[in-house]
């Protein structure tokens, strides 16, 4: 078991390195850099090649590419993400500002999704091909089809027209004023949570259906076990693995993937920071963000694999 975990753990690093290299290269293929972006944004500035060269030198952009990459990697090893090329502030600070918000929305959306998905998925599986199943399936396919940003627009529109009310626009940390905080963040969490729950509902349904056909369920029923007990003890427990995986992976994606929904609700989260960083050609910040988002996914993936191996001995002996 430990050998498997160690092997799987070490496998994370080549992937992370790959992500780092890919991001590094992709960013530098894009025409223009932060200096050009800054001067294009400033008004009445003419492009003085000398000044620009000086600016580049200050940011280390005149160094050969391999040197820039090695510097970045060396920084990472010392847990130093460096400075944002645009604001000059430490990247850890820039990310810290937004991380709490993104994390909270992601956690709340996961709660919404789990609360919806598990009961709905089980109900649909138990009543397969009845109206219950059809309603749940249509509801969840609609969840996959509705863009969460549009759902967000509709929510805001509804509040505005019906209640003449808008969610607060400024972020208040939860511990400062929980009500103000929830009044702002519940809506994006619901908008995203619906889509997310659709993914999880479908997984719950298909996993349950598969498990319900297993021999041990038939055995349990033949023994005359109480149906509820069979469902909870035997079926649900075994069906939960893929469901937990999907919820975990979606959660990892939500941390950075809320790009569009954040725009609608005017949230200053990691997604918005990412879009800004790309537009400004802020290499260091973009790299840090991509690596953060990708490592969230890779780590969750690792944890899921370990959990699978722990629960299913066949995997670790393969």
Alpha carbon dihedral 308, 310, 314, 318, in 10-degree steps, equals: 80
Choose, by CB under 8 A, the member of 10, 14, 42, 175 that binds other proteins. 14
**CB half-sphere exposure, 238, CA atoms < 13 A:** 17
In the complex with other proteins, which residue's Cβ is closer, 181 or 204?
A: 204
CB of 229 to other proteins, least distance (A): 27
**Which pair of tokens denotes residue 127?**
């009543």
Taking CB under 8 A as the criterion, the residue among 257, 284, 305, 309 binding other proteins is 257
Is residue 39 within 8 A of residue 45, CB to CB? The reply is yes
Q: Which parts of 270-309 interact with other proteins (CB under 8 A)? A: 274-275, 278-279, 290, 293-294, 297-298
Annotate 126-155 with b (16+ C-beta within 10 A) or e (fewer): beeeeeebeebbebbeebeeeebbebbeeb
Which pair of tokens denotes residue 136?
């749940």
Which one of the spans 93-101, 117-125, 169-177, 197-205 is the region binding other proteins (CB under 8 A)? Answer: 197-205
How many other CB atoms are found less than 10 A from the CB of residue 36?
15
Chain position carrying tokens 């719950």: 204
Tell me how far apart the alpha carbons of residues 137 and 120 are, in angstroms, rounded to a whole number.
Answer: 9
What is the nearest approach in angstroms of other proteins to the Cβ of residue 256? 6
Residue 113 in the binding site for other proteins (CB under 8 A): no
On whether the CB atoms of residues 105 and 254 are closer than 8 A, the answer is yes
Contact characters 77-106, other proteins, x per CB under 8 A: ------------------------------
Q: Determine the interface stretch with other proteins among 14-22, 110-118, 186-194, 230-238 (rule: CB under 8 A).
A: 14-22
Residue 78 or 213: the one with the smaller Cβ distance to other proteins is 213
Q: Which of 299, 289, 225, 293 shows the shortest CA–CA distance to 84?
A: 289
Pick from 73, 141, 232, 311: which binds other proteins (CB under 8 A)?
141
Going residue by residue from 155 to 174, which x/- string records binding to other proteins, judged by CB under 8 A?
-xx--xx-------------
Rounded to the nearest 10 degrees, the angle between the axes of helix 91-126 and helix 283-311 is 40
| Contact between residue 59 and residue 37 where contact means Cβ atoms under 8 Å apart | no
Binding site residues, other proteins, CB under 8 A = 14-15, 18-19, 22-23, 26-27, 29-30, 134, 137-138, 141-142, 144-147, 149-150, 153-154, 156-157, 160-161, 199, 202-203, 206, 242, 246, 253, 256-257, 259-260, 263-264, 274-275, 278-279, 290, 293-294, 297-298
């Amino acid at each position: 078991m430990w050998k498997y975990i160690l092997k799987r753990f070490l496998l994370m690093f080549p992937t992370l390195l790959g992500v780092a290299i890919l991001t590094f290269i992709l960013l530098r293929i894009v025409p223009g850099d932060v200096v050009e972006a800054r001067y294009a944004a400033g008004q009445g500035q003419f492009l003085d090649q000398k000044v620009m060269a000086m600016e580049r030198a200050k940011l280390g952009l005149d160094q050969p590419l391999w040197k820039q990459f090695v510097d970045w990697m060396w920084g990472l090893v010392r847990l130093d993400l460096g400075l944002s090329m645009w604001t000059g502030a430490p990247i850890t600070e820039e990310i810290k500002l937004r991380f709490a918000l993104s994390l909270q929305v992601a956690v709340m959306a996961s709660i919404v999704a789990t609360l919806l998905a598990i009961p709905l998925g089980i109900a649909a599986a138990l009543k397969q091909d009845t109206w219950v199943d059809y309603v749940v399936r249509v509801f969840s396919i609609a969840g996959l089809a509705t863009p969460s940003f549009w759902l967000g627009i509709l929510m805001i529109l509804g509040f505005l027209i019906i209640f003449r009310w808008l969610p607060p626009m400024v972020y208040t940390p939860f511990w400062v004023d929980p009500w103000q905080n929830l009044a702002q963040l519940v809506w994006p969490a619901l908008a995203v949570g619906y889509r997310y729950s659709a993914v999880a509902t479908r997984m719950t349904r298909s996993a349950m259906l598969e498990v319900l056909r297993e021999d041990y369920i038939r055995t349990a029923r033949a023994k005359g076990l109480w149906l509820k007990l069979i469902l909870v003890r035997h079926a649900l427990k075994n069906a939960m693995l893929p469901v937990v995986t999907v919820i975990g992976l979606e959660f990892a994606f939500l941390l950075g993937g809320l790009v569009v929904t954040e725009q609608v609700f005017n949230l200053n989260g990691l997604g918005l920071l990412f879009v800004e960083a790309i537009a400004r050609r802020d290499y260091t910040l973009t790299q840090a963000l991509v690596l953060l988002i990708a490592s969230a996914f890779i780590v969750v993936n690792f944890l899921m694999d370990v959990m699978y191996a722990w629960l299913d001995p066949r995997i670790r002996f393969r």
